[in-house]
Amino acid sequence: MHILFVADPLESFAIYKDTTFSMMREAQRRGHTVAACEPRHIVWQRGGVVQALVRSIRLSGEAKDWFAVTSTETLALHSFDAILMRKDPPFDSEFFYATHLLEQAEREGARVFNSPRALRDHPEKLAIMEFPQHIGPTLVTRDPQAVRAFHAEHRDIILKPLDGMGGTGIFRVRDDGLNLGAITETLNANGAQTIMVQKFLPAIALGDKRVLVIGGKPVPFCLARIPQGGEVRGNLAAGGKGVAQPLSDADRAIAESLGPVLAARGLLLVGLDVIGDSLTEINVTSPTCFQEITEQTGFDVPAMFIDELETACAIRRV
């Protein structure tokens, strides 16, 4: 297959942990051809098809200078066997516009994973609203009084912006309610922005678990991201420690409940965030943790992913 990765600049990859890199490496190992571009390289003009300036690359196997560019040319997106949308969050206006360009490419015959429409339809924090049976007490609001009422009921809460990533902008307010007003005003911009408020889950001490679902099926191991140094956040970007472990019964039940539903919508890869027995987020833009799980358990997550990609492309050709 000829596979195009739409991603951040290749020069910015930290390949010792980067999931997109691990996908590329496994694809090349199987003999597939790898190319890459950034969303800013995608273009459409009336009378033509969606195109992009792409770099065909060859992975070197070296830690430094890990790729070599074999050609640079403008190609129609539908000429690729598969396109993997792997641009990291935030899901801003430019990401949104990129999904529309990719959806036009789909109309022209391109195969895009994850589906551009599904990326738009599943904002990573709000997507949990569809599955209330799996989540803890949660409030989505702009109203400071609603936040105060939620705190009065649950006494220990987490507040976070809807567009945050890597643990940015997450606050905990305990029973005393200290700084609740100031935190709410900061996050909701004095009522201009919607925020999410959730009951604090003590199980975070055991880790914020990333449960990967590929082709509707759970990877048998998750990565528990354990807060360090008094932090409430387990995100690796916020200093959390990643510990791979087998799925619990609750992890597996959540993944098996959501997996087929999300896969049917064109979400080939999903990263579920689970604290204790509660689903907290559904990550669809650029789920990670392939390398950490593979290195710690021996289970080859990139191989499972490319298996499912090959199957998905074969099905779509029929």
CA atoms within 13 A on the CB side of 121: 11
Tell me which of 81, 106, 251, 281 is the catalytic residue: 281
Q: Show the domains of the chain with their CATH numbers.
A: 2-119 (3.40.50.20), 137-200 (3.30.1490.20), 203-299 (3.30.470.20)
Residue 166 has pLDDT above 80, yes or no: no
Q: Which residues contact 52 (CB under 8 A, 6 or more apart)?
A: 4, 6, 37, 41, 42, 43, 74, 75, 77
Which are the contacts of 280, defined by CB distance < 8 A and separation ≥ 6?
Answer: 128, 135, 136, 198, 201, 208, 273, 274
- The pLDDT value given to residue 316: 57
Across the range 174-184, mean pLDDT stands at: 96
| Distance between CA atoms of residues 10 and 103, nearest Å | 24
Query: Looking at 208, 233, 235, 251, which residue is catalytic?
Result: 233
Residues 25-38, buried b or exposed e (16+ Cβ, 10 A)?
bbbbeeebbbbbbb
Catalytic one among 25, 160, 199, 209?
A: 160
Question: Mean pLDDT, to the nearest integer, of 172-179?
Answer: 96
Res 163: pLDDT: 86
Q: What is the pTM of this model?
A: 0.94
Are residues 234 and 166 in contact, defined by beta-carbon separation less than 8 angstroms? no
Residue 160 bears catalytic tag? yes
Parallel, antiparallel or unpaired: strands 221-226 and 208-214: antiparallel
Residues 87, 283, 292, 308: which is the catalytic one?
Answer: 283
Q: Tell me whether residue 241 is one of the annotated catalytic residues.
A: no
Rounded Cα–Cα distance for residues 57 and 139 (Å): 46
Residue 272 CA to its chain's centroid (Å): 9
Residue in 251, 273, 292, 308 annotated catalytic: 273
Q: What integer best gives the mean pLDDT of the chain? A: 95
75 or 232: which leads in pLDDT: 75
Annotation marks residue 153 as catalytic: no
Q: Is 107 a catalytic residue?
A: no
Respond yes or no: is residue 111 known to be catalytic: no
Pair 304, 220: CB distance under 8 Å = no
Closest residue by Cα to residue 36 from 65, 62, 60, 68: 68
- Residue 234 has a pLDDT of 67
Q: Would you call 40 a catalytic residue per the annotation?
A: no
- Is residue 179 part of the annotated active site? The answer reads no
Report the pLDDT value the prediction gives residue 146, as an integer from 0 to 100: 98
- Among the listed residues 225, 235, 292, 308, the single catalytic one is 225
DSSP at 237: G
CA separation, residue 133 to residues 62, 137, 139, 224 (Å): 46, 10, 15, 22
Token couple for 246? 């087998």
Per-residue pLDDT tens digits for 246-288 = 999 999 999 999 999 999 999 999 999 999 999 999 999 999 9
> Is 210 one of the annotated active-site residues of the chain?
yes
- Closest to 252 (Cα-Cα) out of 221, 207, 297: 221
Q: Of these residues, 25, 26, 210, 308, which one is catalytic? A: 210
Please write the tens of the pLDDT for every residue from 114-139. 999 999 999 999 999 999 999 999 99
Alpha-carbon span 36 to 41, nearest angstrom: 10
Which of 87, 125, 199, 209 does the annotation list as catalytic? 125
Q: What pLDDT score was predicted for residue 315?
A: 62
pLDDT at 278: 98
